[in-house]
Amino acid sequence: GDVWDTLTNIFAEMDSQLAAHPTGDEQGALGDTLESLRSLMEMHVTLQSKAARLQDTRAAMAGQRDAALASLAALERSEEARPESATRRRPVQRAWGAYAYSTLDDENSTAHVEERVKRGPWRTSVR
């Protein structure tokens, strides 16, 4: 606040000096300097605005991440609460070397998981 007010007053004073003495090499140099300073101030204001928008975006993304992690934790808790027979798991090695564990139910049947493994992570699934 105070810095911007001071700079605004300085620019106004310099503008009035230029208006009073519009000719001469020194005045031309002063005018060029003023324009450069104004450009720097505008760039600074623009960058502050972008930084504020970026911070808002980061906060929103953090909120989405936290919500997704909470949903995942709830899903994992519900899986742990299921009877042992309903959550039989077996490892399925994927083509890219990682292991995935599939539940032996309709949604994630062994055949379905093995089909997804054959397609790999770079292909989309159409069911």
As a whole number of angstroms, the distance between CA 107 and CA 71 comes to 19
- Per-residue pLDDT at 112: 56
DSSP helix, strand, coil percent of the chain (3-state; round to 5): 70, 10, 20
As a whole number of angstroms, the distance between CA 122 and CA 127 comes to 16
Coil, helix or strand at residue 42: helix
Which three-class secondary structure string do you get for 60-80? HHHHHHHHHHHHHHHHHHHHH
Give, for all 127 residues of the chain, the pLDDT tens digit.
Answer: 677 778 888 888 888 877 777 677 777 777 788 888 888 888 988 999 999 999 999 999 999 999 999 999 998 888 877 766 555 555 554 444 444 444 444 445 555 556 655 665 544 445 4
**Looking at the whole model, is its pTM more than 0.95?**
no
- Per-residue pLDDT at 49: 93
As a whole number of angstroms, the distance between CA 51 and CA 55 comes to 6
